[in-house]
């Protein structure tokens, strides 16, 4: 789980009955593609993920969708992108 927040003060303690692998990304105005870089760096095979859900700003959503579809081969019915 990648979560992007404006400041370190916005980082929350998340609890769940499920195992959560999370990485907090604190906004970097100098790096508008911070989220895309984090998605590219994920060490997970697309086939190991049942469903990819992406919610972010439109520009980032387009970049992440393109990466998941073209570079990772994620099929449409396993991907939801909501800008």
Distance CA 80, CA 53 (A): 5
Give the model's pLDDT for residue 18: 87
The residue assigned the tokens 């697309």 is 46
- Is 61 in contact with 40 (CB distance < 8 Å)? no
Ordered by start, the domain boundaries in the chain are: 2-82
Max CA pair span of the chain: 36
Exposed, middle or buried: residue 68 (CB in 10 Å: 0-12, 13-18, 19+)?
A: buried
Q: How confident is the model at residue 9 (pLDDT cuts 50, 70, 90)?
A: very high
Give the model's pLDDT for residue 27: 87
Q: What is the mean pLDDT of the chain?
A: 91
What is the per-residue pLDDT across 23-57, written as a single tens digit (0 to 9) for each? 999 988 778 789 999 999 999 998 899 999 999 98
């Amino acid at each position: 789980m990648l979560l992007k927040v404006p400041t370190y003060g916005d980082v929350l303690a998340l609890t769940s009955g499920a195992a959560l692998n999370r990485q907090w990304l604190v906004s970097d105005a100098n790096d508008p593609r911070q989220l895309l870089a984090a998605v590219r760096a994920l060490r997970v095979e697309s086939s190991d993920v049942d469903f990819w859900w992406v919610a972010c700003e439109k520009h980032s959503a387009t970049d992440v969708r393109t990466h998941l579809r073209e570079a990772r081969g994620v099929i449409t019915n396993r991907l939801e992108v909501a800008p």
